[in-house]
Amino acid sequence: MAKILIINDEADLVDIVAIVLQAAGHETKASTEGRKGADMARRYCPEVILLDWKLRETDGGRVLSRLRADEVTRSIPVIMMSASQDGRRLAEQAGADAFLPKPFGADGLLEAVTGILRSSSTDGRFQPSASESRS
């Protein structure tokens, strides 16, 4: 179905997310480092990037800025993930296309990815996750 890049420094979470997405028919690649993830996005050309806010060597906002500055990756939709209470605000301010609060279940993950893939617009407008819309 879709090529999805996961950028998250929690290897166990990366494995779980990859399993859920692959079971739904998606192809995944992952990076546990933000800078390497941005480089990987350029080569892999995913249809969606799942980007964690908190990374060891940087933060998701800086990675997203780098992605948006690159002509090859600037239009790839990014779903920012965070367990922070300010995560939604940070994702919106950073220019993410959607936000997925942690912890999330398989259904929430698939809803967020499906919503981004269905969206024909990648004009930088922030979209809440489906689970947030119901809150």
pLDDT digits (tens, 9 = 90+) for 41-55: 999 999 999 999 999
Q: In the chain, where are the structural domains located?
A: 3-133
Q: Exposed (0-12), middle (13-18) or buried (19+): which is 6, by Cβ within 10 Å?
A: buried
Band (119; pLDDT cuts 50, 70, 90): confident
User: What tokens appear for 41 in the block?
Assistant: 């996005």
Q: Percentage of the chain surpassing pLDDT 70?
A: 88
Q: Homologous superfamily of 3-133 in CATH?
A: Response regulator (3.40.50.2300)
What's the rounded Cα separation, in Å, for the pair 77 and 68? 10
Is the entire prediction scored with pTM above 0.85?
Answer: yes
- Please name which of 48, 36, 113, 42 lies closest in space to residue 76, comparing C-alpha atoms: 48
Q: Check if the beta carbon of residue 80 is closer than 8 Å to that of residue 112.
A: no
Tell me how crowded residue 11 is: count the other CB atoms within 10 A of its CB.
10
